[in-house]
Amino acid sequence: MRRLALVLALMALVPATVPAGGGPPPPPDRGTLVLALLNPERIAVVDVATGQTAEQRLPGGTLCRSRLHVVGDRIVYLQPGTPYGRVMSIDLALRERPRLVGRADVMVPSADPRRLWLGVRTDRGRLRMREAWVASRFAPRARHTAPAAPLLGAVPDGLVLGGRRSTFVYDPQTGRRLRGTPGAFVIATRGSRIATCGGACTTLLLADGREGRLVHAPDGAHFIATDGSFSADGALAAVPIGPWTRPRLALVDAAAATSRAVPELRLGAYMATGWSPSARLLYAAGPGGRILSYAPGDPRPEPVGLRLASPVMQLLVAE
């Protein structure tokens, strides 16, 4: 009995490693950062856990032509070419040679995470659209050509196209405009939800085809009409806020239709952000080539331990 009592006393001194909820602690966020870098143009892939970095040079003008996308387990980019650009893909480890996906003038990721929409402009500026499986083959060409309008994204019911004062969803299979959203600037899309702003962008509109919710910018600021990013679960959106000369970052709560500025977080010139696959961490490219991570609810962001000499034009996070 004395031995049992001694064992129990020693066990009481050992700190508990299981949280009060009874389950195991959550695994660490081990995302892979995919960065678009300038001078020279290239892709850099960084393992957050180890800091190991790989790079792939890009032809000049690639990052001005289109953004990088992560589709499935591959990085996709649009390389300049004549008469059409070349849509290329490369593995996340950057170990293979880039492979040709197809030729296009424009591209956006499909609502299906394995596919990509490719568009070729006609003489009248309309878009002949085709959906491609990045890892394997093309789907048949869409039945209708899309209107002569900027291609801004894709949602499950169609393509997101830009108008003068609003955006609209167009179904290339039926040739119908399905729904419109006020605000000419698309900040981000996730699932069927589209985040847009217009004019001075003091408010953001979240619309999913069933309802729209208006969100005011925090602290009397204004949203910046550039790319933001939704978390993987769609609950939060990271949106840059002004002024342009000293941009900061706001978190938009989609359910509550509220926003708040992330404390002590300044963004670099290209305002690049990306969410970890778990949606627990937000990564941002700050001034001076610093990469920061922020867990919503924490008092301040933390440096990742990575500092880059080149400007970070875009930041994506892959699993």
Residue-wise pLDDT tens digits, 20-36: 444 554 555 667 999 99
Q: 160 pLDDT exceeds 90?
A: yes
b/e 172-205 (16+ beta carbons within 10 angstroms → b)? beeeeeebebbbbbbbbbbebbbbbbbeebebbb
Q: 4 pLDDT exceeds 90?
A: no
Residue-wise pLDDT tens digits, 55-68: 999 999 999 889 99
The tokens for 37 are: 């870098």
Q: Give mean pLDDT, residues 140-157.
A: 89
Is the separation of the CB atoms in 118 and 133 below 8 Å?
A: no
Q: Which amino acid is at 137?
A: R
Strand partners, 154: 159
| pLDDT band at residue 139 under the 50/70/90 scheme | low
- pLDDT at position 29, please? 61
What is the spatial distance between Cα 267 and Cα 272, in angstroms, rounded to a whole number? 8
Classify 285 as helix, strand or coil. Answer: strand
Is the separation of the CB atoms in 232 and 245 below 8 Å?
A: no
The tokens for 132 are: 């491609």
Residue-wise pLDDT tens digits, 96-108: 999 999 899 999 9
Q: Give mean pLDDT, residues 164-181.
A: 91
**Which residue segments constitute the domains of the chain, with CATH numbers given?**
59-182 (2.120.10.30)
Residue 145 backbone zone (phi > 0: left; psi -120 to 50: alpha; other: beta) = beta
Alpha carbon 19 to its chain centroid, in Å, reads: 32
Residue in 312, 310, 290, 309 with CA at minimum distance from that of residue 301: 290
- pLDDT at position 137, please? 61
Residue-wise pLDDT tens digits, 207-225: 998 889 999 999 889 999 9
Residue 272 backbone zone (phi > 0: left; psi -120 to 50: alpha; other: beta) = beta
What is the spatial distance between Cα 195 and Cα 93, in angstroms, rounded to a whole number? 32
| pLDDT band at residue 305 under the 50/70/90 scheme | confident
Which residue would you say has higher pLDDT here, 220 or 230?
230
Q: 288 pLDDT exceeds 80?
A: yes
pTM of the model: 0.86
The tokens for 238 are: 């990271």
- pLDDT at position 82, please? 84
